[in-house]
Amino acid sequence: MQEPVTISEFTREVKLHFEAKFNFVNVIGEISNFKHHSSGHFYFTLKDDKAQVSANMWSSKNQLLRFTPSNGMKVIVKGRVTVYESKGTYQIDVFEMQPAGEGELQVAFEKLKQKLFAEGMFDVIHKKPLPDFPERVGIITSETGAALQDFIRVTNKRYPLVKLYLFNASMQGRGAAQSISSSIKKANKFFASDQSSLDLIILARGGGSIEDLWCFNEEIVAREIFRSGLPVVSAVGHEIDFTISDFVADLRAPTPSAAAEMIFPDILELKKRLNVYAEDLKGITGEKFNRVKKILNNISTNYYFNKPMDILNEYKLRIDDIDKGISDCLKSKLLKLKARLDSNEKLLNSLGPEMVLKRGYTIITKKDKIINSKKLLKDRDKVGITFFDGDVEAVIKDEGTNYKIDF
């Protein structure tokens, strides 16, 4: 009978044997009880229908994974057995993990798809419309990837008016899902220098295996796309590759370059349309003006429009007639007056002294008074004698009954 050993000693013995015996294991099993600890480590259980074993995968190792393990997924893991002495438990310390087959990822894909579909996350009513002329576009992609170059090439040719904002994210492997969803969040909060937000977001990634594209099949990415206030275009993979992102996104483009063609108008097409618009603008207004001109012409030559002119002309004629009548009448009146004036003048002339004087009579005045009687004169009176051609002065000499006039 051996001496009893302490638990510590016993467990140390077990640990040494176990870990030496199982320093490399390669097992297949289904994941359950999966926990992604905040430290980055994975803790889970691997099981089949009869047995189970605890497992862990440290963050230094699980960062290289191309997918996020989830409960129910069948995986093949490579690792070693470790014994946790203080609890007397053993577990598999996993170095490598792979889906047990493409079929496994396909199952996970279908499961998530069904779940999100049931939640209504793919419903058309949630699809946001895309702007006709995007001005600011956020592109979430790897800055070193071909997807970015493809997208830029097509955009530059098609619609260089746009401003692209590049959010560099890892597009493959573990951590990609986290990187993509935080970029979506960031793009939603982004404001350009003029304080305007982005018009839409594009997730761009070139083609690859289902594992390469797995991050676009992860729930956190899907939920972040769904939560995005900005329209999201999923341009992932190559033509036939469908991901959960494609279903949740507001638009699915088969490739990144196709995305550029789908979201941007073609500058050549726009130039052509502007030419058409220029013609239309001139055509429509020109036609209207020609029509108005024609109408104006019609009106101005129209009989009824010109009738007032006729009436006016008629009045004009009548006024002229009246005018003539008035002047004729005045003329004859004037002539008559003139004739009367003429005869009066003659009469006046015949009544006046001039003609009498011419015949030899004179007028004698004394102190400017006409002397028409001998009685008005006496000797030595100074008198004026007016002849038809002038006046002379004279003095009266009284010699009895007759006056003798001395000049």
Partner 1 sequence: MKNKKDTAVNEENISFERSFKRLEEILVKLENDIEDYSLEEIIKHYQEGLKLLKICRSKLSEAELVIEKISTEQDN
Positions in the binding site for partner 1 (CB under 8 A): 131-133, 135, 138, 143, 152, 155-156, 159-170, 179, 182-183, 186-187, 190, 267, 270-271, 274, 277-278, 280-281, 284-285, 288-289, 292
Q: In what helix (H) or strand (E) does residue 178 lie, and over which residues does it extend?
A: helix 176-189
> Given the complex with partner 1, which of 39 and 332 has the nearer CB atom?
39
Q: At its nearest, how many Å lie between partner 1 and the CB of residue 267?
A: 6
> Given the complex with partner 1, which of 187 and 371 has the nearer CB atom?
187
Q: What is the per-residue DSSP string for 240-292?
A: T---HHHHHSSEE-SSHHHHHHHHS--HHHHHHHHHHHHHHHHHHHHHHHHHH
Token digits for 38? 């905040």
> Given the complex with partner 1, which of 168 and 386 has the nearer CB atom?
168
> Given the complex with partner 1, which of 38 and 332 has the nearer CB atom?
38
> Given the complex with partner 1, which of 57 and 187 has the nearer CB atom?
187
> Given the complex with partner 1, which of 262 and 267 has the nearer CB atom?
267
Determine the Cα–Cα distance for residues 321 and 99; give it in Å rounded to an integer.
Answer: 120
Q: Which residue has the tokens 């997924």?
A: 73
> Given the complex with partner 1, which of 44 and 151 has the nearer CB atom?
151
Q: In what helix (H) or strand (E) does residue 314 lie, and over which residues does it extend?
A: helix 303-351
> Given the complex with partner 1, which of 213 and 260 has the nearer CB atom?
260
Q: At its nearest, how many Å lie between partner 1 and the CB of residue 188?
A: 12
> Given the complex with partner 1, which of 268 and 334 has the nearer CB atom?
268
Token digits for 175? 């951590």
Q: At its nearest, how many Å lie between partner 1 and the CB of residue 143?
A: 7
Residue 228 DSSP class:
-
Determine the Cα–Cα distance for residues 166 and 114; give it in Å rounded to an integer.
Answer: 32
Alpha helices in 1-145 (DSSP H): 7-21, 59-62, 102-118
Strand pairing category for 200-205 and 136-141: parallel
Determine the Cα–Cα distance for residues 222 and 184; give it in Å rounded to an integer.
Answer: 11
Q: At its nearest, how many Å lie between partner 1 and the CB of residue 306?
A: 24
Q: At its nearest, how many Å lie between partner 1 and the CB of residue 228?
A: 16
Q: At its nearest, how many Å lie between partner 1 and the CB of residue 152?
A: 7
Q: At its nearest, how many Å lie between partner 1 and the CB of residue 287?
A: 9
Q: At its nearest, how many Å lie between partner 1 and the CB of residue 205?
A: 14
- Give exposure, 176-209, as e/b (b: 16+ Cβ within 10 Å): bbbbbbebbeebbebeeeeeeebbbbbbbbbbbe
Alpha helices in 48-172 (DSSP H): 59-62, 102-118, 146-158
- Phi and psi for 351 in degrees, rounded to 5? -80, -30
Return the SS3 of 353. Answer: helix
Q: At its nearest, how many Å lie between partner 1 and the CB of residue 139?
A: 9
Q: At its nearest, how many Å lie between partner 1 and the CB of residue 183?
A: 6
> Would you tell me how many other CB atoms lie within 10 Å of the CB of residue 141?
28
> Given the complex with partner 1, which of 166 and 385 has the nearer CB atom?
166
Residues 89 and 81 sit within 8 Å (Cβ to Cβ): no
